[in-house]
Amino acid sequence: MNPPNPPNPPKTDARRHHDPETRGFASDNYAGAHPEILAALALANGGHQVAYGEDDYTAHLQQVIRGHFGASAEAFPVFNGTGANVTALQALTDRWGAVICADTAHIHVDECGAPEKVGGLKLLTVATPDGKLTPELIDREAYGWDDEHRAMPQVVSIAQNTELGTVYTPEEIRAICEHAHAHGMKVHLDGARIANAAASLDVPMRTFTNRAGVDVLSFGGTKNGALFGEAVVVLNPDAVRHMKHLRKLSMQLASKMRFVSVQLEALLAKDLWLRNARHANEMAQRLAEGVRAVDGVEILHPVQANAVFARLPHDVSERLQQRYRFYFWDEAAGDVRWMCSFDTTADDVDGFVAALKEEMASR
């Protein structure tokens, strides 16, 4: 017996609760989803597909991922970036394992202790001048493997680009991987903004991931135009254990996984990932050029991706925040962070710079 025809879809009572003209520089997470992503979601929405990752979209995503990261790469879609990082690091460590990272790393300062509380691992942090680890800095914590009183260093985790907006060169990552592997450690790359780093370097992502020796990466989609969803990408199958089980254990297994996978496919199958990232980076350069001309404003770090870190008078920042959303990075020092997105426009940037000039002049 055929099921009854579905009723006409009900009219929605939803109303827009925000002003779509409002712009800000607080985070690339503030941006909506790219229209091509929304179109892909609609395309995947028809009919039934097998749940929990056995759908056609997740299967095709594997082909796309291998085109970017090599024949042995395998993607495990997850809900969010913290889930990707925690799941990946669990797969690389024993219960007594530790992860060496920069003291500014997202896994240390912005994930509410999830790697340690949920993942059950120890973070060994190292102070860096620019958010980037080096073999010499890694050695500050890479010791004591036979000391049962100390958590065992098993992984080096780097971010590309870093939390300070700086970008590792492929040679720098290769040196880290060779050094870590020589000590029996594995390398994880937090790629929440990996597309911005590739656009900045003008190289394929494989150049500074699998070809450089990275074992596992967290691939970011949300900050580059996706509605939701990231992926753990295993580059070295020999480096990880029980990824499928850990993803479920970490509450990151999507039942309707096709809706995560189709977004990543839409980003990666052609060049949407690169177009979005290049545009965000270009807007950050435009913003940096504009604020450099303002007396009393200091750019703190090289602008290599889509972030601008600056120092300016505290009262100016507070007034400017009433006009544009952005965050203090170090409020005591007066340091702020301005982020550009795939949908940031030149008019957005120019309007912000003009407002900054006005607030500085009003002092």
Using CA atoms, how far apart are residues 160 and 209, in angstroms rounded to an integer? 10
Q: How much is the average pLDDT of 110-131?
A: 97
* Region of residue 131 (left: phi > 0; alpha: psi -120 to 50; beta: else): left
**Structure-token pair, residue 136:** 């010499």
Burial class (CB in 10 A: 0-12, 13-18, 19+), 17: exposed
Using CA atoms, how far apart are residues 171 and 193, in angstroms rounded to an integer? 19
CATH fit for domain 35-268, picks 3.30.70.270, 3.40.640.10, 3.30.300.30, 3.90.79.10: 3.40.640.10
Q: How much is the average pLDDT of 229-244?
A: 96
Per-residue three-class SS string for the chain: CCCCCCCCCCCCCCCCCCCCCCCCCCCCCCCCCCHHHHHHHHHHCCCCCCCCCCCHHHHHHHHHHHHHHCCCCEEEEECCHHHHHHHHHHHHCCCCEEEEEECCCHHHHCCCCHHHHCCCCEEEEECCCCCCCCHHHHCCCCCCCCCCCCCEEEEEEEECCCCCCCCCCHHHHHHHHHHHHHCCCEEEEEECCHHHHHHHHCCCHHHHCCCCCCCEEEECCHHHCCCCCEEEEECCHHHCCCHHHHHHHCCCCCCCCHHHHHHHHHHHCCCHHHHHHHHHHHHHHHHHHHHHCCCCCEECCCCCCCEEEEECCHHHHHHHHCCCCCEEEECCCCEEEEECCCCCCHHHHHHHHHHHHHHHHCC
pLDDT classification of 9: cutoffs 50, 70, 90: low
**For position 147, what pLDDT does the model report?**
97
pLDDT classification of 142: cutoffs 50, 70, 90: very high
Of residues 117 and 14, more confidently modeled: 117
Least-confidence region, from 5-14, 170-179, 285-294 = 5-14
Q: Output the CA torsion sign for 191, 192, 194, 197.
A: negative
Whether 150 shows a pLDDT value over 60: the answer reads yes
pLDDT (tens digit, 9 = 90+) per residue, 264-319?
Answer: 999 999 999 999 999 999 999 999 999 999 999 999 999 999 999 999 999 999 99
The owner of tokens 């060779």 is 178
pLDDT (tens digit, 9 = 90+) per residue, 314-363?
Answer: 999 999 999 999 999 999 999 999 999 999 999 999 999 999 999 999 87
Closest alpha carbon to 307 in 353, 340, 331: 340
**Structural domain boundaries of the chain?**
35-268, 272-361
Q: For the domain bounded by 272-361, which CATH number is listed? A: 3.90.1150.10
Using CA atoms, how far apart are residues 109 and 329, in angstroms rounded to an integer? 12
The owner of tokens 């939390």 is 163
78 within 8 A of 231, measured Cβ to Cβ: yes
Using CA atoms, how far apart are residues 236 and 73, in angstroms rounded to an integer? 7
pLDDT classification of 20: cutoffs 50, 70, 90: confident
pLDDT (tens digit, 9 = 90+) per residue, 45-83?
Answer: 999 999 999 999 999 999 999 999 999 999 999 999 999
**For position 7, what pLDDT does the model report?**
57
